[in-house]
């Protein structure tokens, strides 16, 4: 290395007989200057430094263009009991916007079909159509599959965490059944509406509900059953009467339902 070579030469010069030096005064001063340079450079590589060429300023990608129909569907709802703000649709992939699609199924019109593999909920409609909603799924969303019915519906529901959830998260005890649950509101995990799924007279504890965390749509999240954007659960709530059938796919014994690949789809107002 350059520094080691210099130090060896300097040591050799200092040991010359009679205290003489092979270095001229000019070369000595040049060597001192070189030491100063090394001291400043510290851990910089001993390889010759190259000056990078000036790069063009990085341009920020333009924000995604959101269709005007989608902006209308997911705009503010000021007349709700708890006014709902517009959704920032740049945080929700457009494939999860509410839309009508071609849909092949043996299920009767009015059935809800939850496709947990693809994060969609379908409401079967006449003439081979379905209204499709993007959903987020929680732990409970993957633990039950089969048939049920919408036992009852609730606008702006209370939320009561089950005992198993409280055991995992003790801070939720404040909203336990013995304390009346969490009151409705914008921060309530069930959102603006909830559909309660029963099998016969038994509550499955499976819920289709709204969420204030719209950015979780299309994702597997830590809690909840099947969550929709608040604007979507309000739309679904108006279309689905109590006692409507629901099928959660995942049971191989159930008939297969699927969206028609490449079908024309229209956003629903």
User: For residues 241 and 257, what is the distance between their CA atoms, to the nearest angstrom?
Assistant: 22
Asked if 229 contacts 145 with a C-beta cutoff of 8 angstroms, the reply is no
**Catalytic member of 43, 225, 256, 258:** 225
CB 231 within 8 A of CB 80: no
Tokens of 257: 């339902």
Residues 6+ apart with CB under 8 A from 39: none
Which CA distances in Å does 188 have to 84, 97, 142? 13, 22, 22
User: Would you call 225 a catalytic residue per the annotation?
Assistant: yes
Is residue 258 flagged as an active site residue? no
List active site positions.
209, 225
């Amino acid at each position: 290395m350059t520094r080691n070579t210099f130090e060896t030469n300097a040591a050799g010069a200092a040991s010359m007989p009679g205290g003489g030096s092979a270095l001229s005064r000019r070369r000595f001063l040049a060597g001192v200057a070189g030491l100063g340079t090394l001291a400043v450079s510290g851990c910089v590589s001993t390889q010759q430094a190259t000056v990078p060429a000036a790069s063009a300023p990085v341009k920020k990608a333009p924000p995604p263009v959101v269709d005007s129909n989608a902006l209308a569907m997911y705009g503010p709802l000021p007349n709700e009991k708890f006014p709902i703000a517009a959704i920032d649709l740049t945080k929700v992939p457009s494939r999860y916007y509410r839309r009508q699609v071609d849909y092949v199924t043996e299920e009767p019109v009015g059935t809800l079909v939850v496709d947990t593999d693809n994060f969609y909920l379908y409401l079967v409609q006449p003439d081979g159509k379905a209204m499709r909603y993007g959903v987020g799924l929680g732990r409970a969303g993957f633990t039950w599959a089969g048939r049920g019915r919408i036992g009852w519906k609730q606008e702006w529901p209370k939320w009561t965490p089950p005992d198993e959830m409280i055991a995992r998260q003790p801070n939720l005890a404040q909203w336990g059944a013995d304390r009346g649950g969490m009151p409705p509101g914008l921060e309530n995990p069930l959102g603006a509406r909830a559909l309660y799924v029963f099998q016969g007279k038994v509550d499955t504890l499976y819920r289709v509900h709204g969420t204030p965390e719209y950015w979780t749509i299309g994702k597997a999240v830590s809690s909840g059953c099947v969550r929709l954007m608040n604007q979507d659960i309000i739309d679904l709530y108006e279309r689905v009467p109590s006692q409507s059938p629901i099928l959660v796919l995942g049971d191989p014994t159930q008939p297969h339902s699927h969206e028609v690949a490449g079908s024309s789809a229209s956003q629903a107002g």
